[in-house]
Every structure is written in structure tokens, then in C-alpha cells.
């Protein structure tokens, strides 16, 4: 296996520039976000869609769309409740038009006292979104989110194994898969191993990588925190995971350097070395 091709390049640049930059840097997978003016859904005219699809085809690049975690999927206020649904529909429509294989989604956030009401709203909304994804031949990659400090005003869903399980038990669509964020798992007592013990790898669509000091959310470059990436690759490989990894840290140069190191460590894990 060419392990270097398993890594995903993410960028906030205009999508066409992101694809070209990824190709120049040796990536075959790109994630993009449609929440910056250069990539707003309305900017994707039929001509731009055709141009992007041609660029992807020419270079053999696989595409995914990453929705914005600041848009609250646990929204219960009537006007914003409807807007959150429309936000998802527009993103899924765009992903399908561009030929993307998946969209990454989140559970939203609550403010403490309204946790259960917002939890129910998030599960309901993402259940509907799974149906929309089925209609568009897309997968939804659902990300386990980061724990905020206890004193914070907002708290993301889901942050631990118990909260994540509630979503996967309620939403049974085969298109509802897991974006396993390794650093987020290190912020709760369950840890990386607890998540894998609970869910295995069968539903993982992608693994998201950055380092962490284990106290709060910060996308550290590997080697600056507590994540043992060699062990991460050994455990995932032993469980049979052969899918992609998104690099969610540092500069493009950092990601290229660590992609090559990670690819070597994956090869070692596959061979039982390291």
C-alpha cells in the first residue's frame, strides 16, 4: 500500500487553488470548507463546478467537504433551527455537485442547562441529514468533538464515548460514519483506546490527526504534545483500519513533512515493526 496517498490535505483557499497545491505537494485527497467567501456555495456556478470536477478528474484527487462546527447542529431556536437544516442541505448539495464522497459533520453545542433538549435536536437533525446524504449518494463523517474546560459557556457534542454512542445508537443509516478525532479523544478520560474499545474501526470514514497537550483544544504539530502517533498507527492497523488520515495542524510544509514520517510509521505498523 502507498501509505502517503492515505493522507488528506485541508485548506481554506479557493478550492481550485487547494487542489492544485495538494497535487504539487503530492496529496491525492483534499478536504475543503464552504464557509469562506471564496468557497461560499453560491460561488459554485455551473461553469465553476465543471471546472473543479475536471481538475479533480485530471489529477485523480478525491474530495470531501468539511462543514463548520460553529454552525450549531443542536440548535433549538425556531428560526435558527430551520437555518441549520438549510445549511446542511446546501452543503450536501454542493458536495454532491462537485463529486465529493463525503461531508464531515458535528453534533453542535449546548450551554449546560439545555443539554438534553439540544442533544435531542442534534440527533434528530443528523438523522435527517443521513437521509439527505443517502439521497445524494454521500457519506456523513461524524466527528467526536473536543471537551471544553468545565468553566466554559458552551460544551460541544459529543465529547466522550457515552455521548458519541447516543448518536450512533439512534442513527442507523449505513451512510452515517465516524470521523475519529484522535486529539479530541485525548481530552477526556476515555482516551484514544476507550473510543476504539467502544466502537472499533468498522465505521471509521477518516481519522483526524494533530497533537495535543491534553488540557484543551489546540491543534499542535506532532511532537509538541502527548499523542503517541506510532502507537496510534499500530493499534489502528492491528484492528484493520486501512482508510484515510486528515492532517489538521501547522503549515503546508509541516503537513508534508509529517505525512512522509507518518507514512513510514504506517508501513512499520503494517509490517509489525516499530
Instruction: Give the model confidence (pLDDT) of 37-48 as tens digits.
Output: 999 999 999 999
Across 15-128, the runs of DSSP E, i.e. the strands, are 29-32, 62-66, 102-105, 109-110
pLDDT given at position 274: 44
Mean pLDDT of 107-136: 97
What band does 73 get if pLDDT is binned at 50, 70 and 90? Answer: very high
82 phi and psi angles, rounded to 5 deg? -65, -40
**Positive/negative CA dihedral, 135, 139, 144, 148:** negative
pLDDT at res. 11: 87
Look at residue 12 in the predicted model and tell me its pLDDT.
87
Stretch 147-165: mean pLDDT: 97
- Pairing label, strands 102-105, 139-143: parallel
Please compute the mean of the pLDDT values over residues 5-17 and round it to a whole number.
95
Mean pLDDT of 229-244: 97
If you count them, how many residues does the chain have? 274
Q: What is the pLDDT of residue 61?
A: 98
Tens of pLDDT, residue by residue over 17-41, are 999 999 999 999 999 999 999 999 9
Report pTM: 0.95
CATH of domain 3-271: 3.20.20.150
CA distances from 193 to 22, 103, 128, 157, 205 (A): 31, 25, 30, 19, 18
pLDDT at 109 over 90: yes
pLDDT tops 60 at residue 273: no
Amino acid at each position: 500500500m502507498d501509505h502517503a496517498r492515505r493522507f488528506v490535505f485541508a485548506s481554506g483557499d479557493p478550492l481550485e487553488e487547494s487542489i492544485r497545491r495538494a497535487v504539487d505537494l503530492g496529496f491525492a485527497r483534499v478536504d475543503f470548507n464552504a464557509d469562506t467567501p471564496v468557497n461560499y456555495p453560491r460561488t459554485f456556478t455551473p461553469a465553476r463546478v465543471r471546472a473543479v470536477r475536471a481538475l479533480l478528474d485530471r489529477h485523480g484527487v478525491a474530495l470531501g467537504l468539511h462543514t463548520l462546527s460553529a454552525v450549531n447542529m443542536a440548535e433549538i431556536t425556531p428560526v435558527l433551527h430551520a437555518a441549520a437544516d438549510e445549511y446542511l442541505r446546501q452543503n450536501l448539495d454542493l458536495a454532491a455537485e462537485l463529486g465529493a464522497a463525503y461531508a464531515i459533520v458535528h453534533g453542535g453545542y449546548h450551554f449546560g442547562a439545555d443539554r438534553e433538549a439540544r442533544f435531542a435536536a442534534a440527533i434528530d437533525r443528523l438523522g435527517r441529514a443521513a437521509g439527505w446524504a443517502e439521497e445524494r449518494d454521500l457519506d456523513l463523517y461524524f466527528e467526536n468533538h473536543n471537551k471544553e474546560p468545565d468553566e466554559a459557556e458552551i460544551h460541544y457534542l459529543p465529547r466522550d464515548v457515552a455521548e458519541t454512542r447516543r448518536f450512533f445508537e439512534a442513527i442507523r443509516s449505513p451512510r452515517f460514519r465516524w470521523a475519529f478525532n484522535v486529539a479530541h479523544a485525548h481530552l477526556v478520560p476515555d482516551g484514544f483506546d476507550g473510543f476504539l474499545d467502544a466502537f472499533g474501526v468498522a465505521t471509521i470514514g477518516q481519522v483526524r490527526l494533530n497533537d495535543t497537550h491534553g488540557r484543551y483544544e489546540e491543534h499542535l504539530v506532532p511532537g509538541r504534545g502527548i499523542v503517541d502517533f506510532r502507537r496510534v498507527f499500530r493499534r489502528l492497523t492491528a484492528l484493520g483500519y486501512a482508510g484515510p488520515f486528515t492532517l489538521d495542524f501547522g503549515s503546508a510544509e509541516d503537513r508534508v513533512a509529517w505525512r512522509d514520517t507518518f507514512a513510514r510509521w504506517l508501513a512499520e505498523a503494517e509490517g509489525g515493526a516499530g
